[in-house]
Amino acid sequence: MKKGCLKVFWGLIGPILVICGFFAQSSGYDQIRDMRKMERIPHVDAVAVIPGEVSMQGWASSAGNTVRGQFSGAECFYVHWLEEEERTDSDGDTYWATIDEGTHHVPFFKLQDDTGSILISLNGISPDIKRDYRQTTGRRRYSEWRIDEGQNVFAFAMAEARSKGHALTFTQSGYYVPILSEYDALTARRGQGTSGVFLTLGSLLCFIFGILFICFLLKIHRLLVFLSIVSALNLLVLFVMGVLMMKADLEDGYERLDRHQRSAREAVESILGSDLNWVSLPQRVQGFADSKRARVLGIRQDLAAATERANAIRERFPERWLAPLWGIEKQTSILAPGENHSVETIIIPSPISGWLAWVGGLLALVCGVWGSIWGFKRIKIKRYVENVPTSLSSGLAYGPAEIKGGVELKEGTNLKGPMTNKECCLFRYLVTETRGSGKNRRTVTIEDRNERIPFFCRDTEGATLVDPQGAEVTAPLMKTRRSGRRTYREWHLAPGQELYVLGSAVVEPVRGDSLQLSEGDNDGFPFLISSESETETMLGQGRRGLFLISLGFSGIVMLVLLLFASTGSYAATDFLASSLTAPCFLVFSTFVLMFNDLVFLRNRVKRAWANIEVSLKKRVDLIPNLESATKAYLQHEKEFHQHIVDLRNSIKGKKTFTPGDFDSAMRAEVAVTTRLMALVEAYPELKGDTLMRNLMTSLTRMENEVALMRAGYNDSVELYRTTIRRIPEVFLAKIFRFKDAQFLQTEVKVYSMPEIDFDEPESSSSAEGASEAPPAETPRPAEDSA
């Protein structure tokens, strides 16, 4: 996708997701609020129904009328029927198309329990029931959903007084959600709570990814800036939602309780007269008829349960602190001292389904861990691109490095693109094939071939050798061709292509007197080769990292919300506590970034020093051979032999070295090398000795290794020491005991490899001249220190 199209996409999808987030948040708030309404209203028996909101469970019975199923012919009180036809689309996929659909129901049926029955009006309600009938004939399918005689039914409705008793309706407004279901109240509450939680989660996902795309559009790539925005919005949404839900829950609940108290008082006073005392009511109705006593006690029990539930919710934390600010006082219990509470006074939790909690929790955990780990890795790479300074070829130092320049092929190398047939230093050749159609349409890879050869990256100061093996490459798409259902693509880097390269500068393994950029062994340091600019490379890595971090953050928020939902409380405090996830994740991310930076810088110093130590230890085997080779020719050179003794004493028997040991060894070695080069020129027979030539080559190579590594080591030490003294990293450094590091003081220069011609032993070659004969290979320092 072209950059212009991406910007348009980000500019459109970002604001749309934010707007969708607000709608989802509002819907989730409504679902939780509806669930809380059901939670406040206890179950009531048919004998105790009074005008107002009612939660009732029973079984269906006839009120005099029935209807018949459209296809089954079964007698019932409600039937929804559906006729479908199987059809085939243009891709050959089958689907069911609706041919006919309708609903029949009686005006009323009875909801009966052990205490009596009450009429239910079916106007304005779509029952939540299972499918009772399905039959397939040819390409037609017939289905029915029914309420049959004796079927269990739960109703959450508004009770209104009739000339003969009461009836439940679903069209009046009130503190309830119209529900008619074959499932019980707990299942209905669980469904509403689950919907509320997932809508809330959906709103947070919309906010997170909406902000993410807006950040892409505005080129905001800093993780802490992105997380600060997301955290602030996440905290605002969940905190505001929690507080508003808490306030609305308390106000609506106590308003409903006030109506319930008035309605209950009117109903009981119509039976007993005035002078009503709820506490002594059970003793007062002892001599009443069974039906009247049952109704009065039932109304009292229902009111007591509603009052105890309202008080229990008010006494939760932090409701008991905030309720007085909103003028909501605790209601006086109507139960006598010592009187047992009914089971309806207890709010039974309605957690989400166990399988949904486990599956959702596992998915959230995997998403959170995977997204966070890989997101932080991408952000780490982005920070390397941002913070590692660009070096010119002439100033390249051992260790992590960054260069820019044009591609230049090495002489004698030959690599051509399979489609373009043009010279290049690397290419990727991809062949894909489209298979299937419609929903089964998929793309499979037939061939994915990568070939790479070393090349030079040339800048204004010279050229640096780059070994692209193991690099993450971004190359331009050079050619695309389609043939039938196959698509052929080729990406390559051609001579002259401008590059950005980030990698490890290591000693060139053949000659040993220069550095090259390669994958190296630098504690996981990235190796990038990109045809894009440094800024685009940084933004690309930042976008990938922020996207993965967004997935990780979403998974963590989802896990926290599911954890609270699994308890079944859906309290406002759950959302308030969930809102703390964002700032906690922000603090954790800040800690991770700073700690990882300190660890990388410390390991970079250790790695650089380990390579120097390996190079120093190579002298242990070299010195005895050097003494033997020179003894026959240079017996009278006491000063030279003293230099060798000093060199041997500086490294003999040592397993580890300090910067002070290094300085001593290098001073001795420089003295040996300088004097030996002068003596070789003075003694032709020494120059012609094969062993002596190999020893000279090895000594010069090792000294060059250290010279090239020293600058990289000192750069690493300087950056490390600066970082551990900077606020706030200084506090982490002290807590986790990051120790200081020392600079290397001794200057060591790079020598050209000595050129010794055995056919003309008398001719001399300058110690500073260029070398043509490559010496035997020695292992790279980074590999020796692994």
- Give the start-to-end residue ranges of the domains of the chain: 54-174, 240-345, 359-579, 593-784
- pLDDT higher than 50, residue 146: yes
pLDDT in tens, 318-348: 788 888 888 888 888 888 887 777 667 677 7
CA gap 322, 457 in Å, rounded? 68
Residue 755: per-residue pLDDT? 41
Residue 763: per-residue pLDDT? 36
CA gap 555, 365 in Å, rounded? 6
Cα 78 from chain centre: 48
CA gap 644, 142 in Å, rounded? 101
Residue 764: per-residue pLDDT? 36
Per the CB < 8 A criterion, the answer to whether 162 and 119 are in contact is yes
**Looking at the chain, how many residues does it have?**
786
- pLDDT higher than 50, residue 769: no
pLDDT band (50, 70, 90) for residue 180: very high
How many CB atoms sit inside 10 A of residue 160's CB? 14
Residue 280: per-residue pLDDT? 87
- pLDDT higher than 50, residue 757: no
- Give the bridge partners for 444, in sequence order: 433
Quote the pTM value.
0.73
Per the CB < 8 A criterion, the answer to whether 777 and 510 are in contact is yes
- Closest Cα partner for 314 from 305, 300, 324? 324
DSSP line for 219-236: T---HHHHHHHHHHHHHH
User: What mean pLDDT, rounded, does the chain reach?
Assistant: 82
Residue 620: per-residue pLDDT? 62
Residue 573: partners with Cβ closer than 8 Å, 6 or more residues away: 242, 316, 317, 318
111, amino acid identity: L
Among 178-187, 222-231, 668-677, the least confident range: 668-677
CA gap 294, 161 in Å, rounded? 18
Per the CB < 8 A criterion, the answer to whether 262 and 270 are in contact is no
Structure tokens at 199: 């809508």
- For residue 183, what are the CA distances in angstroms to 41, 153, 156, 626? 17, 7, 12, 93
Residue 430: per-residue pLDDT? 96
- pLDDT higher than 70, residue 264: yes
Residue 775: per-residue pLDDT? 36
How many CB atoms sit inside 10 A of residue 40's CB? 24
How many CB atoms sit inside 10 A of residue 696's CB? 25
Residue 773: per-residue pLDDT? 34
Among 209-223, 261-275, 322-336, 765-779, the least confident range: 765-779
Check residues 603 and 53 and name the one with the higher pLDDT.
53
CA gap 708, 398 in Å, rounded? 6
Residue 80: partners with Cβ closer than 8 Å, 6 or more residues away: 101, 102, 103, 126, 144, 145, 146
Give percent of the chain with pLDDT exceeding 90: 34
- pLDDT higher than 70, residue 263: yes
How many CB atoms sit inside 10 A of residue 133's CB? 17
Structure tokens at 288: 């009443």
Per the CB < 8 A criterion, the answer to whether 501 and 529 are in contact is yes
- Residue 398 burial (10 A CB sphere; 0-12, 13-18, 19+): buried
CA gap 255, 258 in Å, rounded? 5
Residue 275: per-residue pLDDT? 77
Q: Which three-class secondary structure state does DSSP give residue 647?
A: helix
CA gap 691, 688 in Å, rounded? 9
Check residues 499 and 769 and name the one with the higher pLDDT.
499
Cα 447 from chain centre: 32
- Closest Cα partner for 751 from 704, 699, 702? 704
CA gap 347, 343 in Å, rounded? 9
Q: Which residues in 162-247 belong to E strands, given as ranges?
A: 166-169, 179-181
Angle between helices 581-617 and 659-682 (to 10 degrees): 40
Per the CB < 8 A criterion, the answer to whether 484 and 502 are in contact is no
pLDDT band (50, 70, 90) for residue 748: low
Residue 770: per-residue pLDDT? 35
CA gap 586, 578 in Å, rounded? 14
- Closest Cα partner for 289 from 274, 265, 272? 272
Per the CB < 8 A criterion, the answer to whether 97 and 87 are in contact is yes
Q: How many helices (H) and strands (E) does the chain have?
A: 17, 23
Give percent of the chain with pLDDT exceeding 70: 82
CA gap 274, 284 in Å, rounded? 13
Among 7-16, 78-87, 248-257, 340-349, the least confident range: 340-349
pLDDT band (50, 70, 90) for residue 371: very high
Among 289-298, 490-499, 507-516, 530-539, the least confident range: 507-516
pLDDT in tens, 589-646: 888 888 888 887 888 788 777 777 776 666 666 666 666 666 655 655 666 667 667 7
Residue 708: per-residue pLDDT? 67
pLDDT in tens, 293-315: 898 999 998 898 888 888 888 88
Q: Which three-class secondary structure state does DSSP give residue 461?
A: coil
Determine the straight-line distance between the first and last CA of the chain, rounded to whole angstroms: 41
pLDDT band (50, 70, 90) for residue 648: low
- Residue 67 burial (10 A CB sphere; 0-12, 13-18, 19+): middle
Cα 22 from chain centre: 22
Q: Name the phi and psi angles at 328, rounded to 5.
A: -110, 115
Compute the 3-state secondary structure of the chain and give helix, strand, coil in percent, each to the nearest 5: 50, 20, 30
Phi-psi region of 568 (alpha: psi -120 to 50; beta: other; left: phi over 0): left
CA gap 429, 488 in Å, rounded? 8
